[in-house]
A and B are shown apart, each in its own frame.
Chain A
Amino acid sequence: MSEPSTIYRLPLAAYRVLDLGPGAAARYAARLLGDAGAEVIAVERAVTPRSDAFRQLNRDKLGCVLDFAMPRGAELVRRLAALCDVVIEGFDEAERERFGFGYEALRALRPDVIVTSVAGASADGASATFAGIAAGTAAAAAVCVALLHLRDTGEGQHVAVDAAACAPAFAAPLPSRSQILVDSRLRERRFFEPVSHLEGGVIEMPALLWRLGMTPCHVRLPAPEPGQHNRYVFASLLGLSEEEIAELEAKGIVVGGWSG
């Protein structure tokens, strides 16, 4: 049997997750999976302001900006989905159809994909609600159940969370931020962790929520700057050439990557 020191590998390190947003519930679900070690690629349809909530919701992710309202952008998202074990999306029915991101469409490209739909959540950029956080947590739970099913059977599936239906079961009074900031028990437990951002400096945010005894529990990545990982996504994963990427940028389908 291997020694504990040899298994410092995060639990979901073998999985890639495509996070299409929009909305805090889908983003939070993907964040939890990123915290647990999955490679999460967050797609922004357009550059989103880097608010405090954005940075918390999108840490432990890679990021690209891709306008999937345009047919060529949507096609690239579908090609990306075929390279991912899990897709998380928070679209309404009409958007999902319009973009071509429904379960059947994605399954045709990757038969064992796990598609996670989180309905009834708020739009990107808007502040998170507790309903969104509860729905995001439920969605992360559903993904983990689906990953176990995938491991045992090789089958993917469509899992779903309805924020409006599920969240009231968890609707609890929350402490105020000012209470939390001075809570000595939380400080002693190292509830906050400083995370250094490329732009925006060091921001203290809640550390990993679940403490696993045999894996390190730190934030691995700050939230991406706009398009920070465009090159990885479009060149390394999708195999597009420099010329093709330049053309997509010229058409505004890919929004230029952050370059320090």
Chain B
Amino acid sequence: MTEPALSELLVVEVGRQVAVRYCGLLFRRLGATVLVVEPPGSDEPSSDLNAGKESMTLDLARPEGGALLGRLAEQADVLVADDSLPAELDCARLSRRNPRLIVTCISGAPLDDAAQRFVGLNAFTATLLPLITMSVLGRGQRIEVDGAECLAAAAMLVGDGQVPLETREPAAGELPFTVEGVVPPEPVSPAGRHNDEIYCELLGLTGDELARLRREAIV
């Protein structure tokens, strides 16, 4: 069996928009380890689009939360985010700490779920481009994919007056293409399911430190 092409990648995903989640899901199905950052204490059921991702909770609005995300980004290959990424975590700052990091920002995302998936597919493809040259360049960069622009560019090609297709919600984890080496469909983890592994093993926090972050509702 072929090893999935993106197996070596660590992707961090921030943002609850479908575009971000769909982009992250494509990475996961192609073998990447995808860490989803969710706000702590939410009762919202986890999205189907989080299938196979490792879930952690972190309050990015708190300074300590932002600092922890910065530490996570030091170890990541890719950070995919929407406008919910705090402004102080800008790409320049993250890149200083991890020059290889690719930061993909999805702006202007539309309301419609199908449109969001289209934007997420664009963001996924754009993110692969610097990965292809990474071994040559040795450094990451910031990528911006704008939802309104993705749709407008399609509209300028398609033209007015075409009967729109009927939208079909894709089955969980369904890929829009066939390639060698795909991860089989996986279950969705509840929010925060992987907090212990991520905070203690990946970031090296002690159990006491994690307990304090939990008490203070940062995690």
Task: Enumerate chain A interface residues (CB-CB to B < 8 A).
Answer: 1-2, 4, 7, 9, 11-12, 14, 24, 28, 32, 36, 53, 56-57, 127-131, 133-135, 137-142, 144-149, 151-152, 155, 157, 159-161, 166-178, 180, 183, 185-186, 189, 191, 205-206, 209-215
Complex interface bits, B133-164 against A, C-beta within 8 A gives 1, otherwise 0: 10101110111111011111111111110101
Please, which residues of chain A bring their CB within 8 A of the CB of B131? Answer: 148
Please, which residues of chain A bring their CB within 8 A of the CB of B30? Answer: 145
Given A1-B99, A128-B158, A129-B162, A137:B129 Cβ within 8 A? no
Return the contact of B158 from the options A127, A191, A205 (Cβ within 8 A): A127
Q: Are B178 and A160 in contact (CB under 8 A)?
A: yes
Please, which residues of chain A bring their CB within 8 A of the CB of B176? Answer: 134-135, 138, 141, 161, 166, 169-170
Return the contact of A130 from the options B125, B133, B146, B162 (Cβ within 8 A): B162
Within the complex, the shortest CB–CB distance from A139 to chain B, in Å, comes to: 7
Return the contact of B130 from the options A11, A127, A140, A183 (Cβ within 8 A): A11
Q: Are A130 and B178 in contact (CB under 8 A)?
A: no
Within the complex, the shortest CB–CB distance from A25 to chain B, in Å, comes to: 11
**Interface-located stretch among B67-75, B108-116, B190-198:** B108-116
Within the complex, the shortest CB–CB distance from A109 to chain B, in Å, comes to: 20
- Residue of B with least CB distance to A172: B115
Q: Are B122 and A177 in contact (CB under 8 A)?
A: no
Within the complex, the shortest CB–CB distance from B41 to chain A, in Å, comes to: 32
Q: Are A168 and B165 in contact (CB under 8 A)?
A: yes
- Whether B199 is near chain A, meaning CB under 8 Å from some CB there, is no
Of A145, A161, A174, A186, chain B has the most CB atoms within 10 Å of the CB of A145
Return the contact of B122 from the options A7, A57, A137, A213 (Cβ within 8 A): A137
Given A32-B125, A209-B150, A176:B164 Cβ within 8 A? no
Q: Are B132 and A147 in contact (CB under 8 A)?
A: yes
Q: Are A145 and B114 in contact (CB under 8 A)?
A: no
Given A144-B132, A177-B155, A159:B142 Cβ within 8 A? no
23 CB < 8 A contacts A-B: A11-B129, A36-B129, A53-B157, A142-B178, A145-B177, A147-B128, A157-B179, A159-B179, A166-B176, A168-B165, A169-B167, A172-B167, A177-B159, A180-B152, A209-B126, A209-B145, A209-B149, A210-B122, A210-B144, A212-B130, A213-B91, A213-B142, A214-B137
Q: Whole-angstrom distance between the alpha carbons of A171 and B116 in the complex?
A: 10
- Residue of B with least CB distance to A157: B180
Q: Whole-angstrom distance between the alpha carbons of A157 and B176 in the complex?
A: 17
Chain B interface category by residue count: 35 or more
Given A56-B156, A133-B157, A145-B30, A171:B5 Cβ within 8 A? no
4 residue pairs, one from A and one from B, having the closest CB atoms: A172-B115, A210-B126, A171-B165, A168-B168
Q: Whole-angstrom distance between the alpha carbons of A24 and B152 in the complex?
A: 17
Please, which residues of chain B bring their CB within 8 A of the CB of A151? Answer: 132, 135
Q: Are B125 and A189 in contact (CB under 8 A)?
A: no
- Residue of A with least CB distance to B180: A157
Given A180-B152, A180-B156, A206-B152, A145:B165 Cβ within 8 A? no
Q: Whole-angstrom distance between the alpha carbons of A6 and B206 in the complex?
A: 42
Q: A131-B165, A144-B132, A169-B167 are in contact. List 6 more A-B contacts (CB 8 A).
A: A4-B139, A11-B132, A12-B132, A145-B179, A151-B135, A161-B177
- Whether B6 is near chain A, meaning CB under 8 Å from some CB there, is yes
- Whether B216 is near chain A, meaning CB under 8 Å from some CB there, is no
Within the complex, the shortest CB–CB distance from A135 to chain B, in Å, comes to: 8
